[in-house]
Amino acid sequence: MTAPAAPPPVLEMVQVRVALPPGSDRPHALEALDLTVRAGETVCLVGESGSGKSLAAGAIMRLLPEPQVRMTGGTVRFDGTDLATLSEPAMRALRGNRMAMVFQEPMTALNPQKTVGWQIDEVLRLHTDLPRRARRARVLEMLEQVRIPDPASAINAHPHQISGGQRQRVMIAMALALKPRLLIADEPTTALDVTTQLAILRLIRELQRDQGTGILFITHDFGVVAEIADRVAVLRHGVLVEKGPAAEVLNRPRHAYTRALVAAVPALRPPAPRDFTESPVVLRAEAMRKTFAARGGFLSGRRKAVVAVDDVSFDLRRGETLGIVGESGSGKTTVSRCITRLLEADGGRVTLDGRDILSADARTLRAMRADIQMIFQDPQASLNPRKRVVDLIAQGPMVHGMPRAQAHARARQLLELVELSPAAADRYPHEFSGGQRQRIGIARALALEPKVIVADEPVSALDVSVQAQVLRLLADLRERLELSMVFVTHDLRVAAQLCDRIAVMEKGRVVETGPTAALFAAPTHPYTRALLSSIPGRDWSPPDTRHDAA
Amino acid sequence: MTILLYAIRRLVQAVPVVLLIMVGTFLLLHLAPGDIVDALVGDMGGADAAYIARLRAEYGLDEPVWVQLWIYMGKLLTFDFGWSFVHEQPVSVILFDRLGTTLLLMITSLSFAFSIGVALGAIAARRAYSLTDNIISTLGLIFYATPSFFLGLMFIVLFSVKLGWFPVGGVQTIGSFYTGWDRVIDIARHLVLPTASLSLIFLAFYLRLMRATVLEVAELDFVRTARAKGAAEGRLMIHHIMRNALLPVVTLFGLQFSTLLGGAVVVETIFSLPGLGQLAYQAVTQRDMNVLMGIVFLSSILVVVVNFLVDLLYARIDARIELT
Amino acid sequence: MSLADPIAPGGATPTRASVFWRRYRRNRAAVLGLVLLGGVLAMAALAGFYEPGNPLRRAAAPLIPPFTDLAVPLGTDQLGRDILAGILHGARISLLIGLVATLLSIGFGVLVGAVAGYFGGWVDDVLMRITEAFQTVPNFVLLLALVAILGSRIEYIVLAIAIVSWTAPARLARAEFMALRKREFVEAVRNLGVGHSSIIFREILPNALPPVIVYASVIMALAILLESALAFLGLGDPNYASWGNMIGQGRAVLRTDWYVAAIPGVAIVLTVLSFSLVGEGLNEALNPRQKKG
């Protein structure tokens, strides 16, 4: 920010207050929010889930879900005009024209029944008098600008026919078609893979440079903040706790909450390598294959067979953590389901302590399941909502023959091990927060004292601060119980924290395997390199403030 | 071309269902007490055992069950449903004679129920929880709970007996020999009350579903996107909400057709319309099993055909369905 | 700090029943439905007190209009039968037939749907083709055929109604099971080594049940409508008083004494209405997905 004179503010929020309906966990979603966005700058509004950051966008666009949630105080000025004084038609004339918005889920944010071209064109039809031919030219131009391949045919495509990243490009084309003064981007890259995310962030920056748009960028991810922000504002429970230039907030956070959030971002510093060459192999996968067949053929319509896992082999030694890293569609989740035989693999061998899992008969398999347990991604979906916590944890041991009383006593001990109060035992899952539920999931996996734990994205559904705690718990348990773990993740930062070795998967194949530190320092495969260079904020290391945040 | 392939695929999918229905009607005929020969013999007023046995052999009734099934299915394929001893005619002749009236009743009832139901449902959802919505929703609930035969009777009391606006029954005025437009108007007047009593419950189905889906779609992300683009409410409704909310209603349209056809039995009986429904009722009281099974099969085929057409329509209007 | 501590649970959470009632009560129409349902139940309960004998006997002079003679408050039909007695006893039959037919069709439908949805593959294909075949035959036509073959005994009528109405709960249960079997908690228990029948009945079924229970009220209403239509056509069990039959009888004197058909008709409408209203209330209380103001 070395501009000679600060450009005029596009957006000024002064003491904005948004009320929640009675009976919510707090009276106000936003409490006296002050925020300014100037032309050509990017302001990141950062907060965890429930901080009220998305409602700030609603307050600006005057699209809050009224009357339950409504603005009760303060002013929002856009280009100097107090938005509260505008009529609804005048407001509509601004939306999509002078102020535009991009949402998180590109999957659902586009109308499934209309073509991409129609939906971009709608903006032009609403706000301009251009004749049809000129509008079409403009739509094509926009598609080209957001780098959609073959715009002439993409214009007639329906949203389900293009990829998630392309859909988000379409959203951006729609938002920027009329060169708005203000762009509000609400977690626009959260649902995307890292490589796509980086491309979209770059695209937004580039278009901003050309058009001088002011951007309010809402996110929870400090990596993304480091990538794109000029200035940062941190929101906690609707209260602005800190704001300042990006470099300042990222490297020298002042408020305790910001410090804790920044400290919770996993650093890209792999732990000191541990040596496992002496340890015995507990789990070995050899030439595993899985194809999702085209179902039904003639009767149900032809769908191409998808090779999800193609010739995957790896060893896991006792006490070791193997990371399986890849983007969506790489086959990493299928691998986790095949080695636990929740899915039947088509070929290859998986041996657990020398015994083959894939060919085990039903009875043997049942016994073997005690030795290989899973931790799932979604702590909400992985616990049966109709069972008490103690029953959830004790179920495994009881299925394998432990008497009820003993299993329940063990379940209570496990709760303590995962740092939950023993009183949690008699409650139902919905009474817990996401991080707490994931602890219950971990306790359930440990209840059978398995030899191997397969963790499928165990922290990706959690807020950063909670994520850090669960990761720390896993690392701690791993030391104490000498667990061997297969850790599936899309997040290289998380993988760097916990994994001794990493296998990188792309399109069903393992393209590179190596000790974490070596792989991060000198990736050999081009895909690994692309992945590593796409990590948002890779050049920024969170300052080590852990000691004063704890 | 792709739509043709899709159509062929849907037709092939319908084959096992039709086969199962054939087997089902065969089993029902077998379960029914007495067979053709019993009926024939009963008609003749008795016969000796040797003659009965010869008759059985003639009709193939001494063959193993699966051979009989095979023969029966072959006959069904050519719409040969056997002989009606009550009407002294081949069953297929009687059925096709009656089909037109039923189809006419179906078409008028469905178009009325669908168009009005969808419109009222959309209006109710648009003004959700207002007085308009409450009135429409209450009407919907009452129609939903009223059996068509009761509605029909009360319509007769009010509109035919007390007010004299519409005829009590039949498809046309007997002995009037109208031609051209006069005949069309005469038939239309006869169809008003049956159509109303049959369609109101279905109107309620569409209304309730439409209201619910419009409310649901209105909450979806892409509607929020359109709002953020600056689209006004009317535009949101027409281009974004209705387009998507209609899809489940079209699906229900296909599913409900078979229920509607069942409802025709009662309504045709009340209003003395000479259709398949009235015939089905007469067949039960006269124990004319061949006619009854013929109706079961023919009406099922009708349902299969309508569902096939609805599938094609759905594939045209839902952009997400890949035809290849 | 919001770095969440492991919970220290405190404060009583409300019981499931009270949460359920609070949500149910929010819908005033549903409360009205409950009142109506109570009324119908009371009618069925009072039948024996009002007319302990045969409600089909001749009680007074024929065709007494309602509200004119205290001995027969709702009047008599053309055979001199007491309409009120018929209404009260008819409530019993309607509820009985509705309840048993609903239990049968839901039980069978859920079983088929659960197996099809859980196992998928060819099992699903076969079961769904059969379900489709049943759904394709117009239900009332099939009902007529079944009654023609089985006869008009009340047990057979119940069975026939169940046979024509199990398909919708089967499809519903199948959809629920298909969605739930992919949920991670099912994978989790599979991974613990729990067997299929345990997973179907102990893990998935309790979670799949709420929409099915809601749908039971629809089936109940449909079953009552089907029975009354049969009885209206004179194909019901002649040994029991039935609302549909009373309407059918009233048709003969419709031009002059329309109340004979109208009174039982209103009884049917109110009963069916009560079930749909209760169903809506259950839906909002059990599946609180759609929020409203």
Domain CATH number, residue C277: 1.10.3720.10
Q: Mean pLDDT over residues C17-21, rounded?
A: 81
- Does a structural domain hold residue C69? yes
pLDDT in tens, C140-188: 999 999 998 888 899 999 999 999 999 999 999 999 999 898 888 999 9
Q: If DSSP codes are grouped into helix, strand and coil, which group holds residue A285?
A: strand
B/e letters for A431-442, b = 16+ CB within 10 Å, e = fewer, are: ebebbbbbbbbb
Cis peptide, bond prior to residue A67, ω within 30 of zero:
yes
Distances (CA, A) of A315 to A272, A281, A395: 20, 6, 30
Contacts of A342 in chain C (CB under 8 A): 187, 190-191
Q: Which residue of C has its CA nearest to A259?
A: C1
pLDDT in tens, B161-210: 888 888 887 877 777 777 788 888 888 888 889 999 999 999 999 999 99
Over 60: is that where the pLDDT of A521 sits?
yes
Helix (H) or strand (E) holding A229: none
- Does a structural domain hold residue C228? yes
The reported pLDDT for the residue numbered B314 is: 86
Is the four-CA dihedral C288, C291, C292, C293 of positive or negative sign?
A: positive
Cβ of B153 within 8 Å of Cβ of C247? The answer is yes
Q: Which amino acid is present at A321?
A: T
The reported pLDDT for the residue numbered C58 is: 78
**Dist. CA B290–CA B59, nearest whole Å:** 14
pLDDT in tens, A223-277: 899 999 999 999 998 899 999 999 999 999 999 999 888 888 888 888 778 888 8
pTM: 0.84
Cβ of B293 within 8 Å of Cβ of C147? The answer is no
Q: Please give the biggest Cα pair distance in chain C.
A: 85
- Does a structural domain hold residue C161? yes
Contacts of B142 in chain C (CB under 8 A): 269, 273
Cβ of C269 within 8 Å of Cβ of B293? The answer is no
- Does a structural domain hold residue C4? no
Ranked by mean pLDDT, the top range of A522-526, C47-51, C282-286 is A522-526
* Band (B30; pLDDT cuts 50, 70, 90): confident
Q: Tell me, yes or no, if C1 comes closer than 8 A to chain A by beta carbon.
A: yes
Determine which of B3, B4, B8, B225 to mutate to test the interface with A (most A C-beta atoms within 10 Å). Answer: B225
Q: What are phi and psi of B283, to 5 degrees?
A: -65, -35
Q: How far is C10 from chain A (nearest CA, A)?
A: 9
Over 80: is that where the pLDDT of A302 sits?
no
The reported pLDDT for the residue numbered B198 is: 92
Using CB atoms and an 8 Å cut-off, which of residues 40-69 of chain B contact chain C? none
Cβ of B230 within 8 Å of Cβ of A171? The answer is no
Q: Tell me, yes or no, if B258 comes closer than 8 A to chain C by beta carbon.
A: yes
- What the block records as the tokens of B190 is 């006869």
List subunits contacting chain A, requiring 3 or more Cβ pairs under 8 Å. B, C
Over 50: is that where the pLDDT of A548 sits?
no
Closest residue to C145, CB basis, from B153, B296, B307:
B296
Q: Tell me, yes or no, if B220 comes closer than 8 A to chain C by beta carbon.
A: no
* Band (A321; pLDDT cuts 50, 70, 90): very high
pLDDT in tens, A143-191: 988 888 888 888 999 888 888 888 988 999 999 888 899 999 998 888 8
Q: Which amino acid is present at A467?
A: Q
B and C: number of Cβ contacts within 8 A: 147
The reported pLDDT for the residue numbered A303 is: 54
Q: How far is C221 from chain B (nearest CA, A)?
A: 8
Over 60: is that where the pLDDT of C4 sits?
no
Determine which of A122, A125, A218 to mutate to test the interface with B (most B C-beta atoms within 10 Å). Answer: A122
Closest residue to C139, CB basis, from B20, B148, B258:
B258
Q: How far is B118 from chain C (nearest CA, A)?
A: 20
Determine which of B222, B321, B323 to mutate to test the interface with A (most A C-beta atoms within 10 Å). Answer: B222
Q: Tell me, yes or no, if B230 comes closer than 8 A to chain A by beta carbon.
A: yes
Cβ of B258 within 8 Å of Cβ of C138? The answer is yes
Over 80: is that where the pLDDT of B63 sits?
no
In the predicted model, what is the mean pLDDT of chain C? Answer: 85
Identify the CA nearest to A232 among candidates A47, A375, A394. A47
The reported pLDDT for the residue numbered C52 is: 79
Q: How many CA atoms lie within 13 A of A422 on its CB side?
A: 6
The reported pLDDT for the residue numbered A545 is: 53
Percentage of chain B with pLDDT > 90?
27
Determine which of B95, B149, B296 to mutate to test the interface with C (most C C-beta atoms within 10 Å). Answer: B149
Q: Which residue of C has its CA nearest to A48?
A: C2
Q: Tell me, yes or no, if B220 comes closer than 8 A to chain A by beta carbon.
A: yes
- Does a structural domain hold residue C12? no
Over 50: is that where the pLDDT of A290 sits?
yes
**Dist. CA A411–CA A440, nearest whole Å:** 10
List, in sequence order, every beta strand (DSSP E) within A387-528.
Answer: 452-456, 484-489, 501-506, 509-515
Q: Mean pLDDT over residues A432-459, rounded?
A: 91
The reported pLDDT for the residue numbered A131 is: 94
Q: Specify the residue for token string 């440990």.
A: A446
Domains contained in chain B, CATH given: 2-91 (no CATH), 96-317 (1.10.3720.10)
Helices B91-126 + B276-285 axis angle, to 10: 120
Determine which of C140, C157, C219 to mutate to test the interface with B (most B C-beta atoms within 10 Å). Answer: C140
SS3 string, chain B, reads CHHHHHHHHHHHHHHHHHHHHHHHHHHHHHHCCCCHHHHHHHHHCCCCHHHHHHHHHHCCCCCCHHHHHHHHHHHHHCCCCCEECCCCEEHHHHHHHHHHHHHHHHHHHHHHHHHHHHHHHHHHHHCCCCHHHHHHHHHHHHHHHCCHHHHHHHHHHHHHHHCCCCCCCCCCCCCCCCCHHHHHHHHHHHHHHHHHHHHHHHHHHHHHHHHHHHHHHHCCHHHHHHHHCCCCHHHHHHHHHHHHHHHHHHHHHHHHHHHHHHHHHHHHHHCCCCCHHHHHHHHHHCCCHHHHHHHHHHHHHHHHHHHHHHHHHHHHHCCCCCCC
The reported pLDDT for the residue numbered A501 is: 93
In the predicted model, what is the mean pLDDT of chain B? Answer: 86
The reported pLDDT for the residue numbered C138 is: 92
CA A157, chain centre distance (Å): 27
Of A106-120, B77-91, C3-17, C187-201, the range with the lowest mean pLDDT is: C3-17
Of A54-58, A408-412, A520-524, C67-71, the range with the lowest mean pLDDT is: C67-71
Over 70: is that where the pLDDT of C137 sits?
yes
Q: Which residue of B has its CA nearest to A111?
A: B222
Over 60: is that where the pLDDT of C291 sits?
no
The reported pLDDT for the residue numbered A523 is: 92
Q: Mean pLDDT over residues A52-74, rounded?
A: 87
* Band (C288; pLDDT cuts 50, 70, 90): low
- Does a structural domain hold residue C225? yes
The reported pLDDT for the residue numbered B322 is: 66
Could you tell me which residues of chain A have a Cβ less than 8 Å from any Cβ in chain B? 61, 63, 89, 92-97, 100-101, 103, 105, 108-115, 122-123, 126-127, 158, 160, 171, 174, 298-299, 301-302
**Dist. CA A334–CA A341, nearest whole Å:** 10
Cβ of C137 within 8 Å of Cβ of B265? The answer is no
Q: Tell me, yes or no, if B24 comes closer than 8 A to chain C by beta carbon.
A: yes
Over 80: is that where the pLDDT of C293 sits?
no
pLDDT in tens, B225-265: 999 998 988 889 888 998 899 888 888 888 888 888 888 99
pLDDT in tens, A490-520: 988 899 889 999 999 998 999 999 999 899 8
- Does a structural domain hold residue C9? no
Closest residue to C192, CB basis, from A378, A395, A469:
A395
The reported pLDDT for the residue numbered C113 is: 94
Q: Which residue of A has its CA nearest to C195?
A: A366
Write out the residue range of the structural domain in which residue C207 sits: 19-286
Q: Tell me, yes or no, if B159 comes closer than 8 A to chain C by beta carbon.
A: no
* Band (B39; pLDDT cuts 50, 70, 90): low
* Band (A105; pLDDT cuts 50, 70, 90): confident
Ranked by mean pLDDT, the top range of A296-300, B158-162, C175-179 is C175-179
Ranked by mean pLDDT, the top range of A270-274, B30-34, B55-59 is A270-274
* Band (A544; pLDDT cuts 50, 70, 90): low
Structural domains counted in chain C = 1
pLDDT in tens, C76-114: 888 878 888 888 898 998 999 999 999 999 999 999 999
The reported pLDDT for the residue numbered C9 is: 43
Distances (CA, A) of A57 to A63, A66, A71: 8, 14, 12
* Band (C1; pLDDT cuts 50, 70, 90): very low
The answer to whether C40 touches C32, Cβ cutoff 8 Å, is no
Identify the CA nearest to A485 among candidates A323, A266, A278. A323
- Does a structural domain hold residue C6? no
